[in-house]
């Protein structure tokens, strides 16, 4: 993924941290200088490497919030 340029423009918190220090985070990320999107993804310590994740628009994040608030969790 060396050719992907990104900038973390917002950080909303850590979802979890593994024993090896990788964190699952909710961020706002601009990919290749485009408008930033919300992003749920695993990161190595210091954001040195990124793992798998999913990007979400603002509307998708709102819908996800709505779904979670309907669930008995």
C-beta of 30: minimal distance to a second copy in Å? 18
Structure tokens, 20: 């090896």
Q: Can residue 2 be called a binding residue for a second copy (CB under 8 A)? A: no
DSSP class of residue 45? Answer: G
Cα 19 from Cα 32, distance rounded (Å): 31
Going by C-alpha positions, the residue among 41, 61, 65 that lies closest to residue 51 is: 41
Q: Which of 22, 24, 30, 31 binds a second copy (CB under 8 A)?
A: 24
C-beta of 20: minimal distance to a second copy in Å? 16
Rule CB under 8 A: which of 34-73 touch a second copy? 40-42, 52-54, 56-65, 67-71, 73
């Amino acid at each position: 993924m060396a050719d992907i340029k990104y900038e973390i423009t917002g950080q909303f918190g850590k979802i979890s941290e593994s024993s090896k220090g990788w964190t699952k985070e909710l961020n706002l990320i601009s990919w290749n200088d485009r408008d930033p999107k919300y992003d749920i993804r695993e990161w190595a310590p210091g954001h040195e490497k990124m793992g798998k994740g999913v990007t979400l628009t603002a509307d998708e994040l709102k819908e996800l919030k709505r779904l979670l608030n309907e669930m008995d969790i």
